[in-house]
Amino acid sequence: MGVLLNIASFALCVLGQTLVAASVYLVSLALIFIGGRGRKEKREKKRQVETRQEPTPDEIKRRPVSAPEI
Amino acid sequence: MKKLIFLSGTKGGTGKTTLALNSAVLLAFLWRDVAHYPVAFLDLTPNVGTAALILLGDPLATWGRPSLSDFAGGNIADPLRAFYIRRWNTEKGAFQLVFTYMAQDVPLTRRHLEYVIQMVESRLKPKVLFFDAPPLSAGSPLAGLVDYVVPVVTPDVSAVEATKSYVDLVGGRRLRPVLNMYIPEYSISAVHGMPWELVIEKTLGERPHVIPFDKLLQAARQALEVEVLKLRPGESPGVKALAEYARYLAATVG
Ligand SMILES: Nc1ncnc2c1ncn2[C@@H]1O[C@H](COP(=O)(O)OP(=O)(O)OP(=O)(O)O)[C@@H](O)[C@H]1O
Ligand SMILES: [Mg+2]
């Protein structure tokens, strides 16, 4: 969405609508920035979930012994 | 007392120690009320094997203690002085295992081994004695001394060939083979043009028990911990498969 608005602002600029183009350009920049941050947060959350699923050797060392399931 | 070994002939790193130690611990737990020392474990790896290191719980614990090397070298006359007890407390009760190891690289002759086995049987009276040895070739002092042999292979032509050539080296009844470190995405052997499970069945005469490749087993090994005491079957497919094999052993050997 942000990228589309960005392209649109350049199109408006070429058509001579510089004032409209400038405001559309600013909105597009804001959208691109927010979108990028959201994706980064999502990626970090995913990484946290992964480490929680798989214990590291250090975590295994610190776990208490429990009765084996047999 | 039944004597059992996991064997891959001359091939190393197939998972013999992982299988032996985890099976021993699982049977010790399962039979905790059946005998005082339900399971004995002989780590025959020179210079302290991995199983002994895990059971001792501390790499420095070997200092100043007698080991089977002292018996082999003539420093102690009674091999049982080189045996140790490892005990665990769990929410389902305590259980224990007796073990010994070789602190040095002193050759253990066949006569020594026979005497150790005799002492273990008459004085500790375990239901089963596990041997864990490094890769074996012809002339092994264990020949003729074991009751059961478990062939262990990985999806690797050389592991299958080495195991096939040496599986009868120590004698004993052959139990269900184990195909360890199996990767389901690579189920077909490119060399044989058929599934690995079938390759093993054709080579060793019986469908193998499959233990998947599981990096959590390596994580536990890095921590020097017994896999089945620290990982749940639900999180580790390797532990799940190890427990299944121990159930089979309990039914067959017990
Ligand atoms: N199913 C598995 N998936 C992933 N790693 C495994 C599996 N089984 C064993 N391993 C790992 O492979 C390595 C070798 O295993 P292990 O020491 O049990 O083999 P071994 O046959 O006793 O070796 P050696 O011949 O040196 O005595 C260890 O790091 C172990 O954690
Ligand atoms: Mg080993």
Question: Is residue B56 predicted with pLDDT exceeding 60?
Answer: yes
- The model's pLDDT over B103-143, given as tens digits with 9 standing for 90+, comes to 999 999 999 999 999 999 999 999 999 999 999 999 899 99
What's the pLDDT band for A19 if we cut at 50, 70, 90? confident
Q: First CA to last CA across chain B, in angstroms?
A: 9
| CATH class belonging to B2-253 | alpha beta
What's the pLDDT band for B147 if we cut at 50, 70, 90? very high
- The whole-angstrom separation of Cα B166 and Cα B163 is 5
Q: Do B97 and B40 touch, CB atoms closer than 8 A?
A: yes
Task: Flag if A66 and B30 touch (Cβ within 8 Å).
Answer: no
Question: Is residue A50 predicted with pLDDT exceeding 60?
Answer: no
Asked, for residue A51, whether it belongs to a domain, the answer is no
Residues with CB under 5 A from ligand 2 (ion): B 16-17
What's the pLDDT band for A52 if we cut at 50, 70, 90? low
Task: Flag if A67 and B90 touch (Cβ within 8 Å).
Answer: yes
Q: What is the value of ipTM here, to two decimals?
A: 0.91
- The whole-angstrom separation of Cα B152 and Cα B144 is 19
Listed by start position, the domains of chain B span 2-253
Confidence at residue A47, expressed as pLDDT on a 0 to 100 scale: 67
Asked, for residue A57, whether it belongs to a domain, the answer is no
DSSP B142: T
**Strand, helix or coil for residue A35:** helix
Asked, for residue A58, whether it belongs to a domain, the answer is no
Give the structural domain span for A33. Answer: 2-45
Question: Is residue A45 predicted with pLDDT exceeding 70?
Answer: no
| Residue B78 phi, psi (nearest 5) | -100, 110
**Strand, helix or coil for residue B73:** coil
Degrees, nearest 5: CA angle A66-B252-B187: 75
Q: First CA to last CA across chain A, in angstroms?
A: 55
Confidence at residue A49, expressed as pLDDT on a 0 to 100 scale: 57
Q: For residue B227, which atom of ligand 1 is closest to its CA?
A: 31
CA of A49 to the centre of ligand 1 (A): 28
Tokens of A1: 């969405």
**Protein residues whose CB sits closer than 6 Å to any atom of ligand 1:** B 12-18, 50, 134-135, 180-181, 211, 213-214, 217-218, 221, 238
In chain B, the percentage of residues whose pLDDT exceeds 70 is 100
Asked, for residue A69, whether it belongs to a domain, the answer is no
* Candidate from A14-18, B108-112, B171-175 with smallest mean pLDDT: A14-18
- The whole-angstrom separation of Cα B248 and Cα B254 is 10
Number of separate domains in chain A: 1
| Residue B77 phi, psi (nearest 5) | -90, -30
- The whole-angstrom separation of Cα A43 and Cα A35 is 13
- The whole-angstrom separation of Cα B230 and Cα B238 is 12
The residue-averaged pLDDT of B54-64 equals: 89
Which residue has better confidence, B252 or A32? Answer: B252
A36 burial level (CB within 10 Å; 0-12, 13-18, 19+): exposed
Taking contacts as CB-CB distances below 8 angstroms, the residues of chain A near B224 are: 61
The residue-averaged pLDDT of B218-233 equals: 98
What's the pLDDT band for B89 if we cut at 50, 70, 90? very high
